[in-house]
Structure 1
Amino acid sequence: MESLLNQASNNPLVSFTLLLLVILTLPPLFERIKLPGLVGLLFAGVVLGSNGLGLLDSESESIKLLADIGKIYLMFVAGLEIDLDEFRKTKDRSLGFGFATFLLPLVFGITIGLIFGMGLNAAVLTGSLLASHTLLGYPIVNRLGVVKNEAVTVTIGATIFTDIAALLVLAICISIHGGEFSATSLIIQLVTLGIYSAIVLFGIDKLGKEYFRRTGDEESNQFMFILLVVFLAAVGAQVINVDKIVGAFLAGLAVNDVVGRSPVEEKIEFVGSTLFIPCFFVDMGLLLDIPGFIKTITTELPLTVAIVGGLFVSKWLAAAIAKLLYNYSWNQAMTMWALSLPQVAATLAAALAGLNAGLISDSVFNVVIVLMLVTSIAGPILTAKFGRKLSTPQEDLASNKTELTPSYITNPNSASLSTVANSGFLYDDIAAELTQPKAERITSYPLFRVVVPVANPKTEKYLIEMSALIANHESGLVVPLSIAKAHVHMDDPQLKKTIKRSRRRLKTALKVTAKFDVQAKPIIRIDDDIVHGISRTAREQNASLIVMGWSETNRLQSRLFGSITDSVFWSSHCSVAVVRLLKEPIDIHQILVPIKNLTPQTIRTIRFANIFAEANSATITLLHIDEHKTNTQKISELEQKLQHILDTQIKPETKITTKFLRQDNVAAAIVKEAENYDMVVLRSMRRRTAGGLAVSDISDRIVKDIQCSIVLFGESH
């Protein structure tokens, strides 16, 4: 048995297979018990490492390579996900809070290190480990609809300062520890680092924009280009005696504007979050010495408490200073504190670099693991607690008056040749429209367009019927779409068969729309990618809505390869409704819409449900579920706000009732309530942490248990 285990640990193929199995299964299991998925990866590393089964060896070349790539990827994604646009809006305040939330933890960490007998250099590095932060709470404030609250944008912007400063301190400390430190060498190191940073930040940015301009839609080549510059930056950092994670983070900032929020960014993050970053966290578990870890927790408990407590206190003081300087409320200050607590990306990467350099001891490294575990759990919990108390900027809700229509419909007089041409309408449509006087164009031409991809004959009829009901209500047009997949050769016999099948599906669609007396414009599109075919056709037709059938992709397959639904959400320019209809749409008369917070996205979800209800003479129940301990006054305020929005923005012509429940298990409560309705409309949201690890949404947990028709309504990325 021992011989078999030794062979397994030394076999790269077996090691890689085990890593894939762990990455695939453990994070979702740990998320189910309300723990971050990365905790499951650390646990796997401990169990499979030298302190457990011995199936993985942290010293093997394959594990080292994957872990190094994961560490580089982690810091690259941390830089890539920083919203530079939001930082530019509040850069002065972001730098102010960034300085405070970096300096105070640094001072606390240095003081704690010196008190516990560390050398000055090790104490400074320990302080820098507390000074950065990872935005694990960002998906929560995004879900709550308070991302545009200034306190949140300032905290997000501060991440740039704290991470860069912490990595700079790491570079200097490791240089000093290597015995190469003097006043002259420090100046040379700083100048070299400055030149290197300028080359990476400005050179890669300019080169990347030019490369992307020339390559157009060649996403594969663009993806490889990004990978190349990331690892070139990492290698370049090592050349100037700086840790490779510094180069990776700078590369992330450099390509931030290049990739924007494009499908290429999705591919980059997907590869990292699916494979390489999890490998890094598993390796962290392999490096954990369990006897030493237990000893640190027990015999060196004062050090652990001091570092964890020092982080909490220093970050709170920084938030309190921001409150005083910028006249923020306590809820804003506490949200800033909660957002800046988690220590994951830069902290773990820097701690590992310090451990490998011999600058910090195993005890300090173990304390950093404890710090990561505590803050990665406490940070999101506190963010949810204080974030929901933030006020949503009223201008966002007030300006949310656009229906599911092109923006220029609200101002018909502004329609012009350039407006229509940029909308992507086909040439014959433009010619027909522009022959009419301007005043007649908008009223006679159907601007509301519903694109319906048809592929499954079993679901096609219900999809078209639902789209026809919505289009009829909005005096619009249904665009049945069939994608004929093809690659290079347009004379491929298989393509001819595919086009023939597409024509049959579109004929069926036309028969359905004719019954509802709705205009239809069937389209066959030849494309080598289904997602691109859907999203590009929707853009060309200036669609207001995409209605898609339910995907039967299981969660494991989706986790590995993604899904068409996710990709359409990411790439489309308009709202997307993914539907699973168990009965004909005309027989759906009772609709349930669970709501959590009154964000612009929630209001658009209610508006979608209202359009369908009015088209089908249905009634709507808005369901809000709170925990038993929720303040009664808060529920009353939410009810008043909701009624105000219904009266001033939705203005329903059908019956909309509101229902408030107290239930700790939200998913179970929604499933129970859904038993009394024909259809449930859920808001779909995709969330991702700054480390790239996916976070499950409540919709994922309830969809499989609901026994009635479902609509997942989502926004474009």
Structure 2
Amino acid sequence: MILNSIRLPELPLTDPIPIFLLVLLIILVAPMLNRIKIPHIIGLIIAGMVFGPHGLNVLAKDQSFELFGEVGILYIMFQSGLEVDMNTFRQNSKKGILFGLYTFFLPMIIGTVTSMYILNFDFVTSVLLSSMYASHTLIAYPIVSKMGIAKHRAISITVVGTIITVVGALLVLAVIVARATGEMSAGYWGKFGVGTVIFGIVVFWLIPYITKLFLKLNSDNVAQYIFVLAMVFFASWLAAIVGLEGIIGAFFAGLVLNRLIPSVSPLMNRIEFVGNAIFIPFFLIGIGMMIDLRVFFTGGDALLVAVTMSVVATFTKWLAAWLTEKSCRLTKHEGNLIFGLSNAQAAATLAAVMIGYNLGLLNLNVLNGTIVMILVTCTISSIVTEKAARAIALADVADKESDDRPEVTGQERILVPISNPQTMPQLIELSNLIKDKNNKKAIYALSINSINGEDDERKGKLMESAAKLAASTDSQLTPIVKRDINVANCIVTTAEEYDITDVLVGVHQKSNIVDTFYGNVISSLLKSSDENLIIYGTKHPVSDVKRLVVAVPDKAEFELGFPLWFERVKNIASQLGISVLFFASQRTTAALKEMCGRQKLKNTDFKELESWEDFLIVTQEVRPHDTVIIISARKSTLSYHPLFDKVPYYISKYFTANNFMIIFPQQKERTLHEGELFNPLKIN
């Protein structure tokens, strides 16, 4: 009786519960294919083929997959704009434009010729087909994001080229459709031009302004995520209604929000998590559901069209990447990565084919051939991208290991004493920025409770909030709770106990008119501790920071802690994608330039500060959204200058509207290789 009452579900599934369960299982199992050298992206596409309407017919290509699939492709383009390193993006924009010209015109020319003389299509049909070869989709982008090389120059070059070729292909499609429907007129192009201008104003001016205001006024993480997502889809929708592709709007939304969302922040972590867990896998499964392997057996003409389309699309994209590699003097792996990312044809290509098919410009063989081309190019794209991305990631690791600079990333431990709920979030945020992004366990939070325990509950909640804040950026915070009446002594002993490299503290709040800038605790730390001590004061969110201005005293390069504080400055600049302006003497500038080369800190500028008596030169260069970093020194050290005592005066008089840091370099050998001292005059 019980068995008779059990009803097997009809296929395709219509109940949302088993549908969502199956999709989650597919997303969960797909990464396991990495063990047999198959990229998980291919696993998701294969799953779509197997369970889709052209396979076992378990899942239907219904509106839910259409919705999530569209969101997925927009999400990929949004992330590619959001994660790109803006400094690298600007430095490689010319190379990206060159690649864009190669990857658009080569498929257009070769595709038109092969379509006319091999497939015997007329000129208009050949041009339309070639525009589909020219466009591509960055379906393999999640691979490079997962490998941690999203800020690499090859990615920037590919992204710039993608926008150029997508816009070019879109214009070709628009001209052909307007010609076929009789709408090609001055009025049509006038509307298109005006719409494009409006789109540019809204996306490049209005959206950043509104987003910056919202993020400043609303600190709720969920609300921030929803708002950013709304801006992305608003930009995509606006691009679509003015005649551009939605993916262009999503990419530019990511680009303009790049500076407002630090790469190490709770908001960025949520953006990456939701996209990689739900939206992008749905899109890839949907791609697989479009593929019908029976196309291979529909006849000789269909097979000829499918093979020709697949070969031409792949060859022209490889040729464009190879020419870019040679023209821009890139490495072989970088050329392969550009080819892998730019080879895939996906939903946008199929949409263009459907438009041409409905207008009678393309036949059924081209429609079927497109499905085969999508399968072939997506497979090649995923495999090549995975191999090239892994090679580049390993090369980056090898460069770090072979570099003879002092190693700090693996041993860094940053101690953050917390007691003030107003400054705690900023301190945890900065600790995430100054550490190596791959070190997930570098942050140690210290709570110093009173002896009688009267503040245990308040301090406990503060520590819990700090741990949650660190966890939201995918970092693990180590909580340390002590009882002591001497705060400075407790910090010093804790730093020694846990082998701390950096101590990060907030600015002392003056209690009366005779109180000093540093206060008793920081003054005691300067006398008793040897760690890299960072004093941090904030006026703006880090998303508002546009540049670091670093004042470096003469002989700072001879301090033991020189490489460590430089690493901290480099990490902040890299994470926020901002430039660095150094003020230093000629001798110190030479050491700074060498360190910039060795640690690959780009987008830097140098100005002379020969004597600390000339510090007013620095104040004249500082802008409202600069973060001022003053490298100070403890007394009786090599770079100490008596005028360091005037630093509090400089801060309170000239930098009241700026975020600032005062760094006292490390004075004991903890992160260096045993027996090795940094030699600033050593040239590799």
Describe the shift of the 1:344–1:175 C-alpha distance in structure 2 as closer, same or farther (beyond 3 A).
farther
TM alignment of 1:300-339, pairs within 5 A? 300-319=302-321, 321-322=323-324, 325-326=327-328, 328=329, 332=330, 334-339=332-337
Matched, 1:268 2:290: no
Give the counterpart letter for 1:348 in structure 2. Answer: A
* CA–CA separation in structure 2 for the residues paired with 1:109 and 1:102: 11
Go from structure 1 to structure 2 and tell me whether the alpha carbon gap of 1:42 and 1:405 turns closer, same or farther (over 3 Å shift). Answer: closer
C-alpha deviation, 1:164, in angstroms: 4.0
Please state if 1:74 is matched with 2:83: no
Q: Give the structure 1 partner of residue 339 of structure 2.
A: 341
Distance 2:194 2:287 in 1: 31
1:255-404 matches, cutoff 5 A:
255-261=257-263, 262-292=265-295, 294-295=296-297, 300-319=302-321, 321-322=323-324, 325-326=327-328, 328=329, 332=330, 334-342=332-340, 347-359=345-357, 361-382=367-388, 397=403, 400-401=405-406, 403=408
How far apart in 2 are the matches of 1:15 and 1:483? 52
Structure 2 equivalent of residue 530 of structure 1: none
Distance in 2, matches of 1:315 and 1:269, equals 28
Q: Match of 2:234?
A: 232
Extract unaligned runs of 5+ from structure 1.
408-422, 429-448, 451-462, 468-477, 485-490, 511-515, 523-535, 546-571, 576-598, 602-648, 655-717
2:13 matches 1:9 = yes
Distance (whole Å) between structure 2 residues aligned to residue 19 and residue 342 of structure 1:
26
Change (3 A) 1:169 1:275: farther
* CA 323–123 in structure 1, closer or farther in 2 if over 3 Å, else same: same
1:520 equivalent to 2:494? Answer: yes
26, 50, 54: which is aligned to 1:51?
A: 54
Q: Equivalences for 1:86-235 in 2 at 5 Å?
A: 86-114=88-116, 115-118=118-121, 120=123, 122-132=125-135, 134=138, 136=140, 154-155=157-158, 157-170=160-173, 172=175, 179=181, 181-184=183-186, 187-188=189-190, 190-215=192-217, 217-235=219-237
Where 2:13 maps in the other structure, the secondary structure is helix
The match for 2:246 is 244
> Match for residue 37 of structure 2?
34
- Residue identity matched to 1:290: L
Q: Distance in 1 between matches of 2:673 and 2:503?
A: 32
Supply the AA of the counterpart residue of 2:384. A
1:279–1:325 CA distance, 2 compared to 1 (3 A): closer
Q: Note the C-alpha offset of 1:199.
A: 3.2
Q: Secondary structure at the match of 1:347?
A: coil
**Whole-angstrom distance in 2 between the partners of 1:295 and 1:30:** 28
Deviations 1:181-224 (A, max 9, x none): 41436523541452243134313443344324533633322211
Question: 1:622-663 deviations in whole A, cap 9, x for unaligned?
Answer: xxxxxxxxxxxxxxxxxxxxxxxxxxx965349xxxxxxxxx
For the residue of structure 2 that corresponds to 1:374, the secondary structure is helix
2-side partners of 1:651 and 1:496: how far apart? 38
Compared with structure 1, are the counterparts of its residues 336 and 225 closer, same or farther at alpha carbon in structure 2 (3 Å cutoff)?
same
Are the counterparts in 2 of residues 41 and 282 from structure 1 also a CA contact under 8 Å? yes
Sort the Cα spacing of 1:130 and 1:538 in 2 relative to 1 into closer, same or farther, 3 A. Answer: farther
Alpha-carbon contact 2:131-2:173 (below 8 Å) kept = yes
Structure 1 distance, partners of 2:344, 2:275, is 16
Distance in 2 between residues matched to 1:146 and 1:254, nearest whole Å: 17
Which amino acid in 2 is paired with 1:240?
Answer: V
Change (3 A) 1:139 1:479: same
Q: Report the Cα distance in structure 2 between the residues aligned to 1:14 and 1:145, rounded to whole angstroms.
A: 36
CA distance in 2, matches of 1:45, 1:51: 9
Note the C-alpha offset of 1:57: 0.9
Asked if the contact 1:163/1:346 (under 8 Å) is kept, the reply is no
Distance 1:146 1:22, change over 3 A: closer
Give the secondary structure class of the aligned counterpart of 1:341: helix
Using the TM superposition, give the Cα deviation of residue 227 of structure 1 relative to its aligned residue in structure 2, in angstroms: 1.2
Partner of 1:441: none
TM-aligned CA deviation for residue 274 of structure 1:
0.7
State the one-letter code of the partner of 1:104. Answer: L
Count matched residues: 469
Q: Aligned partners of 2:55, 2:271: CA distance in 1, in Å?
A: 33
Give me the whole-angstrom Cα distance separating, in 2, the residues matched to 1:653 and 1:13: 63
The one-letter code sitting in structure 1 at the alignment partner of 2:208 is: K
CA RMSD of aligned residues (A): 5.5
SS at match of 1:94: helix
Cα distance in 2, alignment partners of residues 219 and 44 from structure 1: 34
Q: Who is 1:652 aligned against?
A: 674
Percent sequence identity over aligned pairs: 25
Q: State the AA in 2 paired with 1:15.
A: I
Task: Give the residue type in structure 2 aligned to 1:310.
Answer: V
Q: TM-score, with normalisation over the residues of structure 2?
A: 0.55
Aligned counterparts of 1:389 and 1:227: Cα–Cα separation in 2: 35
Whichever residue aligns with residue 342 of structure 1, its letter is G
| Residue equivalent to 1:696 | none
Q: Deviations over 1:432-470 (max 9, x none)?
A: xxxxxxxxxxxxxxxxx99xxxxxxxxxxxx9xxx9xxx
**Aligned ranges for residues 451-490 of structure 1 at < 5 Å?**
481=446
Partners of 1:63 and 1:290 in 2: CA distance = 20
Contact 2:239/2:249, CA 8 A, preserved across alignment: yes
Instruction: Please tell me whether Structure 1 or Structure 2 has the larger radius of gyration of its CA atoms.
Output: 2
Change (3 A) 1:195 1:345: farther
State the alpha-carbon separation in 2 of the partners of residues 355 and 483 from structure 1: 66
Q: 2: CA distance between counterparts of 1:195 and 1:99?
A: 23
Write the deviation string for residues 490-514 of structure 1: whole angstroms up to 9, x where unpaired.
x999879879999xx856899xxxx
For residue 640 of structure 1, what is the aligned residue in structure 2? none
Report Cα offsets for 1:39-74 as digits up to 9, x if no partner: 11122222222233322111x333332223223323
Query: Structure 1's 403 and 139: CA in aligned 2 closer, same or farther, altered over 3 A?
Result: same
Instruction: Report the Cα offset of residue 38 of structure 1.
Output: 1.8
- Distance (Å, rounded) in 2 between the aligned partners of 1:500 and 1:200: 42
Answer yes or no: is the 8 Å Cα contact 2:19–2:59 preserved in 1: yes
Correspondence for 1:667: none
Q: Is the 8 A contact 1:105 1:127 kept in 2?
A: yes
Asked if 2 retains the 8 angstrom alpha-carbon contact of 1:222 and 1:264, the reply is yes
Alignment check: 8 A CA contact 1:101 1:318 kept? yes
Q: CA offsets, 1:665-690, max 9 Å, x none?
A: xxxxxxxxxxxxxxxxxxxxxxxxxx
- Read off the aligned partner of 2:238 and give its amino acid letter: G
- Shift of the 315–258 alpha-carbon distance from structure 1 to 2, 3 Å rule, reads same
Query: Is the contact made by 1:339 and 1:383 (CA closer than 8 Å) also made in structure 2?
Result: yes
Which residue of 2 is the match for residue 20 of structure 1? 24
Tell me the distance in 2 between the aligned counterparts of 1:333 and 1:310.
Answer: 24
Deviation of 1:374 (Å):
1.8
Return closer, same or farther for 1:45/1:137 CA change in 2, 3 Å cut-off.
closer
